[in-house]
Amino acid sequence: MGVQSKFYKSAFKTLQERKQISEDKAIAKKNKIYKDIPELLEIDNQLSKNMVIVARYALSEGSKQKIEEISKISLELSNRKRQLLCMNNINESDLKVQYFCNNCSDTGYDKNGKVCSCVKSLAKQFAFKELNSSTPLNNCTFENFDCNRYSDDNREVMTTIFDFCKNYADEFNENSQSLLFMGGTGLGKTHLSLSIAGKVIEKGYGVIYGPLSKILAKIEKEHFSQSDSTTLDNICDCDLLIIDDLGTEFLTSFTTSVLYDIINTRILNSKPIIISTNLSVEELEKQYGQRIISRIFGCYKGFVFRGEDIRLD
């Protein structure tokens, strides 16, 4: 699977920044420790000098005894260092740089010179961010979803749906089930979908969300411009895909087949999708055909939202 090179560039840039921050932090911490315990600085300096001397002797013959002498001194210094650290409640790791990624020490390359998986996952995050950029999540959270705005007749059903969604987001994992939100406009489907998106992103998962029309337009543009297309790959591969407002997009034979591919691929790979739609079952079948709709109804847990348009005051 390809991720556009601009996202890789951003990923490497982020790694560089992370590396710098980690190293600056480590230096500051080390300097503070040396200031508090000057003997430690002397020991570390002497240990470094000894290492150089040993390396030099190692190249010349007949210096075995000398090397042993220095190694013995170094061992004593190391023991004294450990003692000092212990007395001051300092872990040896506190003197080392704490990288974000231990696999590549934030260089982006592992020990075999291969691009580290952290680069790939960062590049994906940037790609998802760009796809999601037009839909702000801040306005839609579980905290500002008010079940009391529904009438007495609908409140119980909507509270049950709300509780399910909140629990779904809390417990989300790669194998969570797919959901289908049905019901009229303004009943809270988008609000709850985006609340789930926010929570699941917070947990560190890759989420793509937004109106299907926007997602399909991007895929179509990439397909026909034969660009370094990756949106479709990302959509098939992200941990959670949220398709908002199924039924409002303009369908062509190309987009219908892409939609089928997306739904089918994700079902085959057991990757969850949340679909929300204002359309009825009959309307969905008419618009997308039996093939797609039977796939969705066969594998998704459905919820029918009830109530009045909660966006109207």
Q: Does 104 bind Zn ion (CB under 5 A)?
A: yes
Using alpha carbons only, give the angle 290, 293, 297 rounded to the nearest 5 degrees: 130
Residues 6+ apart with CB under 8 A from 301: 177, 178, 179, 180
Residue choice 5, 103, 173, 248 for contact with Zn ion (CB under 5 A): 103
Shortest CB 235 distance to Zn ion, Å: 25
Q: What is the DSSP letter of 194?
A: H
Nearer to Zn ion (CB atom), residue 18 or residue 223: 18
At closest approach, how far in Å is the CB of 117 from Zn ion? Answer: 6
Q: Which is nearer to Zn ion, 103 or 270 (CB)?
A: 103
Q: What's the one-letter identity of residue 99?
A: Y
Find the part of the chain contacting Zn ion (CB under 5 A) among 103-111, 123-131, 186-194, 293-301: 103-111
- Partner residues linked to 216 by β-bridges: none
Residue 98 found at the interface with Zn ion (CB under 5 A):
no
If the CB atoms of residues 104 and 208 are measured against Zn ion, the closer one turns out to be: 104
Contact segment (CB under 5 A) with Zn ion among 18-26, 98-106, 140-148, 167-175 equals: 98-106
Burial class (CB within 10 angstroms; exposed 0-12, middle 13-18, buried 19+) of 229: middle
- Which residue lies nearer to Zn ion by CB, 12 or 260? 12
Give the residue with the Cβ less far from Zn ion, 103 or 294.
103
Shortest distance, position 113 Cβ to Zn ion, whole Å: 13
Quick one: which of 22, 216, 1, 270 has its CA closest to 121? 1
Q: Yes or no: say if 175 and 295 are a contact pair by the CB < 8 Å rule.
A: no
111, 194, 292 from 155: Cα distances, Å: 57, 20, 32
Residues forming the site for Zn ion (CB under 5 A) = 101, 103-104, 116, 118
